[in-house]
């Protein structure tokens, strides 16, 4: 299944999420700068093979537990 559109703000409802794999989809737009605030316990984030644009948000330095980032 190919998901498309922007990375949804509704992810903020998953505050305890530790691993998020959204790879191999058709997400577009930029990575939300709030993603580390929404998912404060995130350890792994995989956004590889999408249609994302823009720069990596500087707020990623606030992802205290993030140790795996695939773009």
Judge if pTM exceeds 0.75.
yes
Distance of CA 8 to the CA centre of its chain: 9
Confidence at residue 24, expressed as pLDDT on a 0 to 100 scale: 97
Confidence at residue 10, expressed as pLDDT on a 0 to 100 scale: 97
Domain ranges of the chain: 4-70
In this structure, are residues 52 and 28 in contact, taking their beta carbons and an 8 Å threshold? yes
Query: How confident is residue 1, by pLDDT bands cut at 50, 70 and 90?
Result: low
Residue 18 and residue 68: Cα distance in Å, rounded? Answer: 11
Segment 5-62, tens digit of pLDDT: 999 999 999 999 999 999 999 999 999 999 999 999 999 999 999 999 999 999 999 9
Tokens of 50: 């999408």
Burial level of 7, CB count in 10 A (0-12/13-18/19+)?
buried
């Amino acid at each position: 299944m190919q998901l498309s559109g922007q990375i949804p703000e509704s992810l903020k409802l998953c505050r305890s999420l530790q691993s998020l794999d959204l790879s191999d989809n058709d997400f577009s737009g930029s990575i939300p700068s709030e993603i580390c605030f929404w998912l404060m316990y995130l350890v792994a984030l995989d956004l590889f093979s999408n249609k994302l644009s823009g720069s990596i948000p500087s707020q990623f330095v606030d992802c205290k537990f993030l140790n795996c980032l695939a773009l």
